[in-house]
Structure 1
Amino acid sequence: MKHLVIITILLLAFSCTNSTKKKDVTNAELFHEIIEKVILQKFTDIAFIIEETRIIKKEYKVRLDSSKIPPPPPPYLKVISKDFLHVLVERNCISIDDVDFMHNAIDETTNFNIDSTLVSVPVIPREKLSQFGADFDEIYDNIYKEYGKESYVKFSFPIFNESRDRLIFFMDYHCGPLCGQGYTFVLSKEESGWQIIQELGGWES
Structure 2
Amino acid sequence: MLKKLLLIILFLSNLSFSQTDKDNYEIYSKVISEQLKFGIDNKTDSIILIEQYVPKFPPEFDIVADFTADSIPDWAYNFLYTQTYRNEEFVNRIKNDKELKNAIKEFTTDFINHPKLNAELLKTDRLNIQIITSEKYYSYFGKKFKRIDKAWKRIKKKYGTRSVIEFSKVKYYKNFATVFYEHHCGGLCGSGNMVVFEKKNGKWVILSEINFRMS
Q: Same fold (TM over 0.5)?
A: yes
RMSD: 3.7
Match of 1:30 among 23, 28, 33: 23
Match of 1:124 among 132, 137, 142: 132
Q: Matches of 2:58 and 2:212 in 1, distance apart? A: 11
Is 1:151 the counterpart of 2:181 in the alignment?
A: no
Q: What's the TM-score once normalised by structure 1's chain length? A: 0.66
Q: What amino acid sits opposite 2:188 in the alignment? A: L
Q: Which residue does 1:41 correspond to in 2?
A: 33
Match of 1:110 among 97, 110, 113: 113
Matches within 5 A, 1:51-200: 51-54=51-54, 76-77=58-59, 79=61, 85=68, 91-92=93-94, 96-97=98-99, 99=102, 103=106, 107=110, 109-120=112-123, 121-130=129-138, 132=140, 135-162=147-174, 165-191=175-201, 193-200=203-210
Q: Matches of 1:20 and 1:116 in 2, distance apart? A: 24
Q: Matches of 1:79 and 1:144 in 2, distance apart? A: 31
Q: What amino acid sits opposite 1:126 in the alignment? A: S
Q: Matches of 1:94 and 1:196 in 2, distance apart? A: 18
Q: Which residue does 2:79 correspond to in 1?
A: none
- Alpha-carbon deviations, 1:59-79, whole Å to 9, x = none? xxxxxxxxxxxxxxx952353
SS in 1 for 2:156: helix
Q: Which residue does 1:60 correspond to in 2?
A: none
Q: What amino acid sits opposite 1:168 in the alignment? A: T
| Paired positions, count | 177
Q: Which runs of 5+ in 2 are unaligned?
A: 39-44, 73-89, 124-128
Q: Which runs of 5+ in 1 are unaligned?
A: 1-5, 56-73
- Alpha-carbon deviations, 1:67-121, whole Å to 9, x = none? xxxxxxx952353877655588962599535628972995455222112332222
Q: Which residue does 2:81 correspond to in 1?
A: none
Larger radius of gyration: 1
Contact 2:179 2:195 in 1 (8 A): yes
Q: What's the TM-score once normalised by structure 2's chain length? A: 0.64
Q: Matches of 1:168 and 1:113 in 2, distance apart? A: 17
